[in-house]
Chain A
Amino acid sequence: MHRGKGMKFVGDSRVSADRKASQIPKDYSEYPGRTEAFWPNFLLKEWLAGAVFLIGFLCLTLAHPSPLEGMADPTNASYIPLPDWYFLFLYELLKYEFASGDYILIGILGIPGLAFGALLLAPFLDKGPGRRPHQRPIAVIMMLLALTSVIWLTWTSAEHVDWEARAEMNKPIPPSNIEINKDDPGYAVYEANCMGCHGDALQGVSAPPLIGTEHTAEEIAKIAREGINTMPANIFKGTDEELDQLVKFIMSVNEQAE
């Protein structure tokens, strides 16, 4: 058998041209056209395309730092779970009546099993010799239907989510041992006006945490009076002197956190 340099192959495969077998695809010389050497000509172009792709990818990572929420708290009963976006379609599917409750098996095994099983076995379900889409309409229509439903489910699921509010609610709190000075006159004001929503350690409960806030003292005073986003106005019911004590208290806890 011929070995080493000078070997002849079929197409760009590693099948030796000396050995003819029926399953081997046609040689590229049988197709009209201009072939190009992979090394180094084509590789250089691939390299350039890869570099452009990498730059775009790095711009994405710089523009949007990867999110991190607060440390997992298994006792947090109000948290609404949400999977990563590429599982949203499965998550949304389980909300339909025919795929939940008594029919949950249809939702977790039946439909996904059928869809992914068909994907895995596609070559054996679509056996005709024609490769062009119009030569195999059933396979193409099934794929388009599956694709449309996945996009539709993902869209419906993501539409209701207020991503910014979620991120705001679940900001990571720096791991430091902040001591709340309960003798501070501002603490009493905080307890009376804010604690119900913002928590006993400013950690945030049904409202965002106040630790790590980017607002200035003046802005905090204004928000306490006038509200912000979903926080209504006039939640703070106190004198201007008490407001001053409250802002000083919140700022002092924030200084400690830094």
Chain B
Amino acid sequence: MLQKIYDWIDERIDITPIWRDIADHEVPEHVNPAHHFSAFVYCFGGLTFFVVVIQILSGMFLTMYYVPDIENAWKSVYYLQTEVAHGQIVRGMHHWGASVVIVMLLLHTLRVFFQGAYKKPRELNWMVGVLIFFVMLGLGFTGYLLPWDNKAYFATQVGLEIADQVPLIGPELKTLLAGDPEIVGAQTLTRFFAIHVFFLPGALFALLAVHFILIRRQGISGPL
């Protein structure tokens, strides 16, 4: 039955190459921890993606309660944390996931770097990966403000002051992020919310798609 459905679809849209990309390929020995335990270093990339999925799912659930407004942002987080069933766990996953994803990303980057896996023909995929790293740091920076507690507020103020000191475009950059040249307030919170929830995830998904398509196109680098 499944085979018939597969054949029916394959006949029309040629899904065999897609299915092969996703599932039907061989895993070479040198990346398989079952054969060489040291190959666990090849898991870091996959685990990074796993944590990203956790971040996306927990983040979607957080927005069910979160209110991006200076009167209610902190109160909604406090309510989520203390009153909502499992709210503490979901917020905890998002909070700790933000740190774990940076750690896994760092380990993955170091694995690729020390194995020289970024060398020809994989230069482009390395650059896409570094861009993903930058987007992640941006997500960390913007997400830090959202609970609107003291540490969020004052850390963001410092970050915006640093942006302000950039030559030529500094004040414009700060205004773009904060919504006002001076005040860190209601506009800043809504802007950071929009950047954290729409702009950066959009960029992240696009970059991840390119990252994965390039992996499938070029294959995993061979053993050292």
Which positions in A face B, CB cutoff 8 Å?
Answer: 3-5, 7, 9-15, 23-26, 28, 31, 33-39, 42-43, 45-46, 49-50, 53-54, 57-58, 60-62, 64-74, 76, 79-87, 91, 94, 104-105, 108-109, 116, 119-124, 126-127, 129-133, 135-136, 139-140, 143, 147, 170, 172, 174-175
Contact = CB atoms under 8 A, between A and B. Distances in A.
16 contacts: A7-B20, A11-B219, A13-B216, A31-B223, A68-B74, A72-B153, A79-B154, A80-B154, A83-B155, A94-B162, A122-B118, A131-B221, A132-B224, A147-B110, A172-B74, A174-B82
B88 A66 contact: yes
Contacts of B198: none
Given A31-B30, A37-B26, A120 B155 contact: no
Contacts of A26: 222
B218 interface: yes
Contacts, number: 252
Contact of A66 (B20, B96, B166): B96
Contacts of B216: 12-14
A42 to B, nearest CB: 5
B27 A174 contact: no
- Chain B: interface residue count, which band? 35 or more
A14 B26 contact: no
A31 B28 contact: yes
B216 to A, nearest CB: 5
Interface string B125-150: 01100110110010011001001111
Prevailing SS type, chain B contact patch: helix
A119 B118 CA distance: 11
Contacts of A45: 33-34
Contact of A133 (B24, B114, B147): B114
Prevailing SS type, chain A contact patch: loop
A68 B221 contact: no
A46 B207 CA distance: 23
Nearest to A150: B106
Interface of B: 10, 14, 16-17, 20-21, 23-30, 32-35, 43, 46-47, 50-51, 54, 70, 74-75, 77-78, 81-82, 88-89, 91-100, 102, 109-110, 113-123, 126-127, 130-131, 133-134, 137, 140-141, 144, 147-155, 157-159, 162, 165-167, 184-185, 216-224
Contact of B151 (A14, A34, A58, A170): A170
A128 to B, nearest CB: 8
